[in-house]
Amino acid sequence: MLYTRKGDQGTTKTFGCDQRISKSSNIAETLGTLDETNSYLGICKSKSKESGFGVEKLGLSFDEIVHTIQKNLFIIQAEFAGADKTISEEKVKEVEKIIDEIEKELPPIKTFFIAGATELGAHFDFARTLARRAERRAVGVKEANPPSADAQREDSIKIGDETMKYLNRLSSLLYALARLSNHKSGINEDVPDYK
């Protein structure tokens, strides 16, 4: 059955917790924003397959990169839901390696760019903003849960440092993929003139 009726009063449950929490709680907001990001990355992955683009030196297609991000976001979602899961340092380093290789393919980035130079680039730019929002929500949960926090509070959950690093790097990776999408399409991106 695709519905349970248990959330009809605006509450939900997380992994291993008997108490119901508000769907507007920090945890529920974070989980929802991570889910939104992951779902939108499905569009990026589909469009990436159509483009055939990749990071040549690493032998990775854009859609493979996005698929790995999606799998990692499921780990992060499980962690925020209270499961005994977390992102490893190795996964953070993998993202950094991809960003570093993309930077080698791009002309130096010295300014902001106006989104929409290409459809794929625009999708990655939008995914980047969703990832930043997810990171902000995650920071809110982490700040509400210092190590000595009362474990019985509704938002009480331990979030790994590598998870927070991964979320911070994610928006940088999506920004890099947007720039590289436009570059590989031979498009010169417009920059804001602030006039």
pLDDT of residue 155: 44
CA–CA dist 57, 102 (Å, integer): 9
Q: 175, 191, 174: which is closest to 70 by C-alpha?
A: 174
CA–CA dist 178, 163 (Å, integer): 23
Q: H helices of the chain, where?
A: 26-51, 62-80, 89-105, 119-143, 161-184
Contacts by residues 165-168 (CB-CB < 8 Å, ≥ 24 positions apart): 165/87, 165/92, 166/72, 166/76, 166/87, 166/91, 166/92, 166/95, 167/76, 167/131, 167/134, 167/135, 167/138, 168/135
Partnered with residue 61 across adjacent β-strands are 54
Phi and psi at residue 21, to the nearest 5°: -120, 160
Yes or no: say if 110 and 100 are a contact pair by the CB < 8 Å rule: no
Yes or no: say if 159 and 76 are a contact pair by the CB < 8 Å rule: no
CA–CA dist 127, 4 (Å, integer): 30
pLDDT of residue 150: 52
CA dihedral 126, 165, 33, 5 (to 10 degrees): 150
CA–CA dist 188, 171 (Å, integer): 22
- Is the Cα torsion angle 61, 63, 66, 68 positive or negative in sign? negative
pLDDT (tens digit, 0 to 9) for every residue of the chain, 195 residues total?
A: 665 665 555 655 565 555 656 555 788 899 999 999 999 999 999 999 999 999 999 999 999 999 999 999 999 999 998 889 999 999 999 999 999 999 999 988 888 898 999 999 999 999 999 999 999 999 999 888 766 545 554 445 789 999 999 999 999 999 999 999 999 999 988 888 889
